[in-house]
Amino acid sequence: MAGNGPKVGVLALQGDFREHLAVLRGLGADAVPVRRAAELDEIGGLVIPGGESSVMDKLSRAFGLAEPLRAAISDGLPVYGTCAGLIMLADRVLDGIAGQQTLGGLDVAVRRNAFGSQVDSFETDLDIPAVGEQPMHAVFIRAPIVESVGENATALAQVADGRVVAVEQGNLLGTSFHPEITGDTRFHEYFLQKVADAQRVGDDARVQWTSFQA
């Protein structure tokens, strides 16, 4: 059911998009699945879910979404990527399959399945000051790691060995883990605040332009 909050999309080509839709709707957002380029014009933010990044890449190109998504990111659309979504937002993938592409936007280099296979999935608590003082319980499933963070991006969280698992850059947000399945909604709330802030900036710009024309 649609909420009264901002209208946000969840890329629904592959992966656990239903879980993100449920969390966002639970927070009051008007959350909708996105499968076509035209739907990008109707939303104020986008979540790219976990799944298989190489499949997501191929499907986004097959559905004619890849270039419109790149343009929307460049234009400042707030986007949050989890796990495979983080890979999709990374400027550099160190171990992608042949021909794999990303949408880019985050000045980071990531490594796919950096913690191992499905059987190596694990859970841990992370300190993430950006979303609150209490540690966040994080679930890692065939998760990527951020091997390097460029000067334009900021690391938000690290696992015990110091490797980065959450990053931010302007309107973009990425996590290696899956907050959509733990019941802790703070990252989604943090993302929705980015959406609200971006809409407020856009509204102010439109008011200024209208005043200028008058």
Contact at 8 Å (CB) between 8 and 49?
A: no
Integer CA distances (angstroms), 88 to 22, 92, 206, in order? 22, 9, 31
CA distance 77 to 172: 8
- Residue 81: name the closest of 145, 10, 23 by CA: 10
- Burial call 155-182: b when 16+ CB within 10 Å, e when fewer: ebbebeeebbbbbbbebbbbbbbbbbee
- Residue 141: name the closest of 102, 104, 182, 172 by CA: 182
**Residues with a known catalytic role:** 83, 178, 180
Q: Residue 66 has which token pair? A: 């890849």
- Residue 63: name the closest of 10, 7, 100, 12 by CA: 12
Burial class (CB in 10 A: 0-12, 13-18, 19+), 25: middle
CA distance 29 to 20: 11
